[in-house]
């Protein structure tokens, strides 16, 4: 209760005069509490000043972002691009003065994949370009191919017989045209006071969710999709075409195939901007012929089965055997350049360690940065690293270094400004983080949420009982426009937010590294079966 009273959300709540009065009372009581033997958490204002000065006056974060996106993006795990990006990051971290910069292998990952060329154009009833992208881990067309388009929505068993023998040499539109609503709300936004207030409150657990796809029953959707893909291959389709999620030219694209060459084959698969898909579908529904041509050159990469994480460190002083970690996932999807997901997080973390070195600040504990690959396929890099160095969540057999970790900090929610921290249920750390947030209230950081946010690499640490934290960030355009889309590019990055974020992360890492004790931990979790879900 006392923590919430010190956020700027309080004054926006109904009955503001009452809450402000309470804040004054609490402020008066705190000195007496401190006198009873609970001193406030140490806060090094000199270090904060030096971190802010370096990070806000001499920032390199956007230069780092440009290298990761414009030069080395996209960074699909297993691709030549991510290998080149990793080698660049290794050299950059070394140039900042970090030690032991390396590409630490964790594979095998399976075969890689890269799209080397993509072209799509309508020829009849009139010529026009088609905005589209191929799905990852799908085959190409073996050069330029031309054929008629057909609408064949096979979503039920009887539809196989209906289209048998009719799809040879065709481009197949596989889905009905979705409704496209007008965009009345801005795609980008900041978290409001009400948003932050709700996040600061404890969550209520929801009941289990159940559902199924075409074919019915658990796993029925995947089995039906496998049979449909095989049907398209047997029929000899040129490629399947589906409408993309998103509007206004934004196309969200993921994977359509497998990293394992032993898995069932799939046909070439293309995701088309919904507006262009609609044009094609309406012409076909009018019983007019549509002719398309495409050139899809996709290549599977079998020569680099071992993937890697980029790792480097700054050795500590008197507590050098203990560890503070910071990280972000380094990999991306392929239709953009992986800017907000997650060159933004990787650049912030690289800039944070650069700031710490450039500021000349000494840290008692060793600070280690790790940039993860395989996150988009299920947190593979971070989970492999945690198993190798700290413990196995399946058995909870812990390694000696498990006892030496103070905390892991993660950034993976786009370009938006940091507004606070998800505590992952670790209430004991709240008063510590409250204190460390004080110099950043003017930057908009004032919220602690007891909740967890899922789907990113801090979960690998939490799974073995280590303090792992994800920062709360403004969403900006993350879920509406950039996440896994062709619009995930440098231009969507907000430079002022990135600069602030690097400064905040550097300060949290610095205070964690110099605190007398390691951060408090939750009770160890029970052993669990390895997670099999992927993103």
pLDDT digits (tens, 9 = 90+) for 31-59: 333 444 568 899 999 999 999 999 999 99
Q: Which fold has domain 112-181+213-301?
A: Glucose Oxidase; domain 1 (3.50.30)
Confidence at 211, pLDDT banded by 50, 70, 90: very low
- Supply the pLDDT for residue 305: 67
- Residue 248 CA to residue 382 CA, distance in Å, equals 35
Report how far apart the first and last C-alpha atoms of the chain are (Å, whole number): 36
Q: What's phi and psi for 198, nearest 5 deg? A: -65, -40
Domain boundaries, the chain: 1-39, 51-109+306-514, 112-181+213-301
Evaluate whether 107 touches 248 at the Cβ level (below 8 Å): no
Asked whether 273 and 244 are in contact (CB, 8 A), the reply is: yes
Q: The pTM is what?
A: 0.90
How many residues does the structure list for the chain?
535
3-class SS of residue 326: strand
Q: Compute how many other C-beta atoms are within 10 angstroms of the C-beta atom of residue 163.
A: 17
**Per-residue pLDDT at 495:** 98
- Residue 364: phi and psi, rounded to 5, are -75, -45
In 3D space, the residue among 535, 89, 107 whose CA is nearest the CA of residue 347 turns out to be 89
108 cis-preceded (ω within 30 degrees of 0) = yes
Q: What is the pLDDT of residues 105-133, one digit of tens each?
A: 998 999 999 999 999 999 999 999 999 99
Residue 408's pLDDT band, with cuts at 50, 70 and 90, is very high
Of the listed ranges 125-139, 190-204, 289-303, 521-535, the one predicted with least confidence: 521-535
- Helix (H, G, I), strand (E, B), or coil: what is residue 382? helix
Helix (H) or strand (E) holding 293: strand 291-301
The model's pLDDT over 285-328, given as tens digits with 9 standing for 90+, comes to: 999 999 999 999 999 998 666 799 999 999 999 999 999 999 99
How many Å separate Cα 307 from the centre of its chain? 18
| pLDDT, tens digit (0-9, with 9 covering 90-100), for 357-404 | 999 999 999 999 999 999 999 999 999 999 999 999 999 999 999 999
Question: How far apart, in whole angstroms, are the C-alpha atoms of residue 160 and residue 287?
Answer: 21
Angstrom distance (rounded) from CA 342 to CA 335: 13
**Cis omega before residue 256 (within 30°)?**
no
Which residue in this structure is represented by tokens 């992927």? 534
Q: In CATH terms, is domain 51-109+306-514 a member of 3.40.630.10?
A: yes
């Amino acid at each position: 209760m006392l923590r919430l009273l010190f956020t700027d959300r309080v004054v926006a709540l109904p009955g503001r005069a009452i809450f402000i009065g309470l804040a004054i009372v609490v402020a008066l009581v705190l000195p007496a509490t401190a006198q009873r033997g609970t001193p406030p958490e140490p806060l090094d204002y000199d270090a904060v000043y030096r971190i802010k000065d370096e990070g806000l006056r001499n920032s390199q974060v956007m230069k780092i972002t440009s290298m990761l996106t414009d030069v080395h993006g996209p960074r699909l795990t297993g691709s030549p691009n991510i290998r080149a990006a990793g080698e660049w990051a290794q050299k950059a971290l070394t140039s900042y003065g970090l030690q032991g910069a390396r590409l630490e292998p964790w594979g095998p990952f399976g075969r890689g994949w890269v799209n080397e060329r993509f072209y799509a154009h309508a020829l009849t009833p009139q010529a026009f370009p088609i905005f589209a992208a191929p799905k990852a881990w799908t085959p190409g067309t073996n050069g330029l191919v031309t054929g008629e388009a057909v609408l064949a929505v096979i979503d039920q068993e009887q539809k196989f017989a209906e289209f048998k023998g009719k799809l040879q040499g065709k481009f197949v539109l596989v889905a009905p045209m979705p409704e496209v609503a007008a965009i009345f709300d801005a795609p980008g936004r900041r978290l409001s006071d009400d948003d932050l207030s709700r996040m600061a409150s404890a969550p209520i657990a929801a009941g289990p969710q159940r559902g199924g796809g075409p074919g019915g029953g658990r796993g029925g959707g995947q089995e039906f999709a496998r049979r449909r893909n095989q049907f398209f291959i047997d029929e000899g389709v040129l490629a399947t075409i589906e409408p993309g999620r998103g509007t206004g030219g934004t196309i969200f694209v993921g994977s359509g195939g497998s990293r394992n060459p032993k898995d069932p084959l799939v046909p070439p698969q293309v995701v088309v901007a919904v507006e262009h898909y609609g044009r094609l579908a309406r012409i076909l529904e009018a019983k007019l012929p549509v002719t398309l041509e495409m050139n899809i050159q996709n290549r599977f990469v079998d020569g680099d089965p071992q993937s890697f994480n980029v790792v480097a460190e700054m050795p500590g002083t008197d507590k050098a055997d203990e560890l503070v970690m910071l990280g972000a996932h380094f990999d991306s999807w392929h239709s953009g350049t992986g800017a907000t997901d997650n060159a933004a997080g990787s650049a912030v973390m690289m800039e944070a360690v650069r700031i710490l070195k450039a500021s000349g600040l000494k840290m008692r504990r060793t600070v280690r940065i790790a940039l993860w690959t395989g996150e988009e396929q299920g947190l593979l890099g971070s989970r492999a690293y945690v198993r190798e160095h700290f413990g196995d969540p399946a058995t909870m057999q812990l390694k000696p270094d498990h006892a030496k970790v103070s905390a892991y900090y993660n950034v993976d929610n786009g370009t938006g400004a940091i507004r606070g921290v998800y505590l992952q249920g670790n209430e004991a750390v709240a008063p510590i983080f409250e204190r460390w947030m004080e110099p950043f209230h003017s930057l908009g950081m004032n919220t602690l949420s007891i909740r967890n946010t899922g789907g990113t690499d801090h979960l690998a640490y939490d799974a073995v009982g280590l303090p792992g934290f994800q920062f709360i960030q403004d969403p900006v355009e993350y879920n509406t426009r950039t996440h896994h889309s062709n619009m995930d590019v440098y231009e969507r990055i907000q430079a002022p937010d990135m600069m602030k974020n690097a400064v905040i992360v550097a300060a949290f890492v610095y205070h964690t590294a110099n605190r007398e004790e390691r951060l408090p931990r939750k009770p160890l979790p029970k052993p669990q079966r390895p997670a099999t879900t992927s993103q």
